[in-house]
A and B are shown apart, each in its own frame.
Chain A
């Protein structure tokens, strides 16, 4: 594969800890191969900062295969940067041109406090799952897996929703910092399956309640979440959630 080297200007958010105000810092980086991933460019910069006796930039990352959901940079005003359907770790420097300025910030949301630099606390998403993002079945209770035929179309829809990686890009993209796309993906995964029916109504009510409690905003159907989701989770899940929620509420009040 052909490649070339880029020189770039980075403007990166630096924040010592959750109490610090934070500020942008500029860095010139040279010799960045177009074959590098975006995070490998940060590795190169951090190596340089360490060698110069400065503090490296803290950022979350782990699998670097686009599946763990840990990486989380807000790049030039877009969660995970310019490529559609791509996490930051899979974004490659081919996406940029020589001489570009790149602005990198953490996820911005009240429910995601900054820990340091580009690292934020996303434990609110775990608490939303705790409020109902499961099927209550203890180990050992299960019947034979093929005793419950599930039409392929339903299984495929359930799977499509279940591919959410819980990165929080939808929240970062949303002007209201709503977690509706994340939440609706989990609700929809179970709503399409026969196993999910027993708790369908309580699940949606409890999870929405928890989302509100965590300080996420409301959904106003702008669609930024779907546009920026690295796994291309469909906004139609939100419509399905709204329907489930309304029906469940009506039934609960009767």
Chain B
């Protein structure tokens, strides 16, 4: 099957306008008889379900949590980018587009990214209209801050909980449609299979997680808004329930999986404290605006951080990247931290951590405040007190969270941070219309691959989720559904539904009947360790090859030895986890294959074989300027399809933040 990305003709600036002017429309009467299934209710899913409901489609939305408001978009802290240029600092749609393509290390699709930058401003307008309480200045205007990898202030935020406020906005819009009857909400339901009829996606099999009952649902189209797959590493900043299952079922039904090896390892997370660790917690990247990152100049220095004098500290990001300093993109900052720790300069009991220090920011803000209040001869203590107040106002909730988890007060002692898996740029392959390689099956938000290339810039995930849901899919889905107005709802006693349900039931029964000796978590942790060691921040051919062998062996062991307590037809969280881990055990192998195939370094994917003399990532555009889209074949292997990336507006260059 050939790949057709359906990118409209014309200059990149006019593609989306032209597309919208010529795309097929569905009249309101026909919309009422067209049914759409939405899987997942994070930013992409909730905004899509609400907007499609407003347009008059019949929507069914599904989430595995107890309420759509719990989706993990809620945990995003820092902010959302938009090319509003409210700060008059030279921002524009083109600059946001350019920064995103460059930040993604030239591995994203230009046309999609331009559209993203274009609709970014509409998102802010929409959210404000919904009552999202963004941070504001005293004059009543919206406030902005800067974020890693760019030199303008275009990030809108709501303290350190921007994701929460945006999701609650989308959730409110969704619940309004539920009340109006255009959307039916199915909470505590998990999608376990895509139903295809005549090659098109026509519905799903879902499990009611309270009763264990399997349900059949028809849709003229199915939207996967099910998030990323970072939990393949067991430890990540994802929620405990975040999983690849919906996307993986789609993949096995013919949807190509693109760039699965592109994983974002976020530089500022709280380090692992022990074997009991169940997840990792992010400290927002916005902390790098004011915090300075350092390690001791001496190896294995055991002194307390505040006892180490300035001249014995290595502010390694400022030293290596003077132009961007502490604000380099995430992939660069993460690798630099790993490099220092591997070289023996790490801090804390595990030595797998670096310091993020607020002392100089506190002094700087303290001086400003003292001047503001006309205190000419403020004492040092007074300045520190004033400075702490400012830092508290800006980052208070993050500092509190750090203290709860570590028991240390970051106002007085530098925080310890280390990189952790945070986001997956890879995902289901989609064309310009967000349709996967299965007709009628779409992927939105983190579940697709298209906008972030090999590295996502801060504050861009929220932008993409809402762009896809509010402003892209409502147009592009019409182009497909306009040809479906004669398709009557297909009854769910159709053989395809019966077969799909049977295959789901067989798999669940097989899992329950293994009755082995080891818990699901045992296998999940073992998989996570293989992935982190061999497909993590640095990868090489030898490690990846051995990882593939190890994952296959682990998978075999899982299907012989996992123990799932409880019953099939009841609320059974262990059974839910088992199904998800079984899918991760297959995905892990594909990720290693993809990483092995991509013998270059780009963005979050660092192949040790491909680096400059200074140890920076070295891209190989001649050979690898393509999207790797993997097709699942014969129930066991994959075929690689290449979508070649052409850059008409942006000139390819080796990224430099020096």
Does B405 sit within 8 A of A, measured CB to CB? yes
- Beta-carbon contact of B563 and A50 below 8 Å: yes
Proximity bits, B85-114, A CB within 8 Å = 1, else 0: 010000000000000000000000000000
Which A residues lie within 8 Å of B67 (CB)? 69, 122-123, 125-126, 166
Which A residues lie within 8 Å of B277 (CB)? 40
Partner of B165 from the list A137, A151, A162, A195 (CB cut-off 8 Å) is: A162
Which B residues lie within 8 Å of A21 (CB)? none
Which B residues lie within 8 Å of A70 (CB)? 65-66, 70
Does B69 sit within 8 A of A, measured CB to CB? yes
Question: Which of B72, B128, B158 neighbours the largest number of chain A CB atoms within 10 Å of its CB?
Answer: B128
Does B159 sit within 8 A of A, measured CB to CB? yes
Bound complex: CA A111 to CA B515 (Å) = 37
Proximity bits, B252-276, A CB within 8 Å = 1, else 0: 0000000000000000000001101
Total number of B residues with any Cβ neighbor in A under 8 Å: 85
- Beta-carbon contact of B571 and A119 below 8 Å: yes
- Beta-carbon contact of B278 and A92 below 8 Å: no
Partner of B566 from the list A47, A55, A60, A131 (CB cut-off 8 Å) is: A55
In residues 163-193 of chain A, which contact B (Cβ within 8 Å)?
Answer: 163, 165-166, 189-190, 193
Does B314 sit within 8 A of A, measured CB to CB? no
Bound complex: CA A37 to CA B405 (Å) = 8
Bound complex: CA A143 to CA B125 (Å) = 6
- For B72, the closest partner residue in chain A by CB is A63
- Beta-carbon contact of A90 and B74 below 8 Å: no
Q: Is the interface of A mostly helix, strand, loop or mixed?
A: loop
Proximity bits, B27-56, A CB within 8 Å = 1, else 0: 000000000000000000001001100100
In residues 520-545 of chain B, which contact A (Cβ within 8 Å)?
Answer: 521-522
Does A62 sit within 8 A of B, measured CB to CB? yes
Does A108 sit within 8 A of B, measured CB to CB? no
CB distance from B526 to the nearest CB of A (A): 14
Bound complex: CA A63 to CA B281 (Å) = 9
Bound complex: CA A146 to CA B139 (Å) = 11
Contact segment of A96-104, A152-160, A239-247: A152-160
Proximity bits, A14-32, B CB within 8 Å = 1, else 0: 0001000000000000000
- Beta-carbon contact of B405 and A92 below 8 Å: yes
Does A7 sit within 8 A of B, measured CB to CB? no
Bound complex: CA A144 to CA B124 (Å) = 8
- Beta-carbon contact of B471 and A139 below 8 Å: yes
In residues 122-157 of chain A, which contact B (Cβ within 8 Å)?
Answer: 122-123, 125-126, 129-131, 133-146, 148-152, 155-156
Partner of A133 from the list B158, B175, B401, B563 (CB cut-off 8 Å) is: B175
CB distance from B64 to the nearest CB of A (A): 9
Partner of B172 from the list A1, A36, A133, A163 (CB cut-off 8 Å) is: A133
Which A residues lie within 8 Å of B47 (CB)? 139
Does A106 sit within 8 A of B, measured CB to CB? no
CB distance from B135 to the nearest CB of A (A): 7
Proximity bits, A65-103, B CB within 8 Å = 1, else 0: 111111000000000000101100010101000000000
Which A residues lie within 8 Å of B574 (CB)? 50, 56
Instruction: Given A90-B404, A159-B158, A162-B133, check contact A69 B54 (CB 8 Å).
Output: no
Instruction: Given A50-B565, A67-B161, A190-B131, check contact A40 B142 (CB 8 Å).
Output: no
Does A209 sit within 8 A of B, measured CB to CB? no
Does B408 sit within 8 A of A, measured CB to CB? yes
Partner of B179 from the list A86, A116, A130, A149 (CB cut-off 8 Å) is: A130
- Beta-carbon contact of B72 and A68 below 8 Å: yes
- Beta-carbon contact of B159 and A43 below 8 Å: no
- Beta-carbon contact of A136 and B135 below 8 Å: no
- Beta-carbon contact of B273 and A69 below 8 Å: no
Does B207 sit within 8 A of A, measured CB to CB? no
Which A residues lie within 8 Å of B407 (CB)? 1, 35, 92, 94
Instruction: Given A122-B66, A166-B67, check contact A145 B140 (CB 8 Å).
Output: no
- For B520, the closest partner residue in chain A by CB is A50
Which A residues lie within 8 Å of B470 (CB)? 139
Bound complex: CA A137 to CA B50 (Å) = 11
- Beta-carbon contact of B571 and A58 below 8 Å: yes
Bound complex: CA A145 to CA B68 (Å) = 26
CB distance from A149 to the nearest CB of B (A): 3
Does B2 sit within 8 A of A, measured CB to CB? no
Does B343 sit within 8 A of A, measured CB to CB? no
- For B68, the closest partner residue in chain A by CB is A126
- Beta-carbon contact of B176 and A136 below 8 Å: yes
Partner of B75 from the list A68, A116, A148, A158 (CB cut-off 8 Å) is: A68
- For B209, the closest partner residue in chain A by CB is A115
Bound complex: CA A74 to CA B470 (Å) = 38
Bound complex: CA A152 to CA B142 (Å) = 9
Does B130 sit within 8 A of A, measured CB to CB? yes
Does A220 sit within 8 A of B, measured CB to CB? no
Does B646 sit within 8 A of A, measured CB to CB? no
- For A135, the closest partner residue in chain B by CB is B131
Which B residues lie within 8 Å of A37 (CB)? 278, 405
Instruction: Given A92-B404, A94-B407, A134-B173, check contact A139 B168 (CB 8 Å).
Output: no
CB distance from B349 to the nearest CB of A (A): 7
Question: Which of B178, B404, B408, B571 neighbours the largest number of chain A CB atoms within 10 Å of its CB?
Answer: B404
- Beta-carbon contact of B54 and A1 below 8 Å: no
Instruction: Given A135-B130, A162-B168, A190-B131, check contact A129 B175 (CB 8 Å).
Output: yes
* Chain A residues engaging chain B, CB cutoff 8 angstroms: 1, 3, 17, 33, 35-37, 39-40, 43-44, 47, 49-51, 53-56, 58, 60-70, 83, 85-86, 90, 92, 94, 115-116, 119, 121-123, 125-126, 129-131, 133-146, 148-152, 155-156, 158-159, 162-163, 165-166, 189-190, 193, 195-196
Q: Can you give 5 contacting A-B residue pairs, CB < 8 Å?
A: A1-B273, A63-B72, A119-B571, A122-B66, A126-B67
Instruction: Give 18 A-B pairs besides A1-B407, A137-B129, A139-B471 with Cβ atoms closer than 8 angstroms.
Output: A17-B571, A40-B277, A55-B566, A61-B240, A64-B240, A64-B281, A66-B401, A68-B70, A92-B405, A126-B68, A126-B178, A126-B185, A129-B171, A135-B131, A136-B176, A149-B140, A155-B136, A166-B67
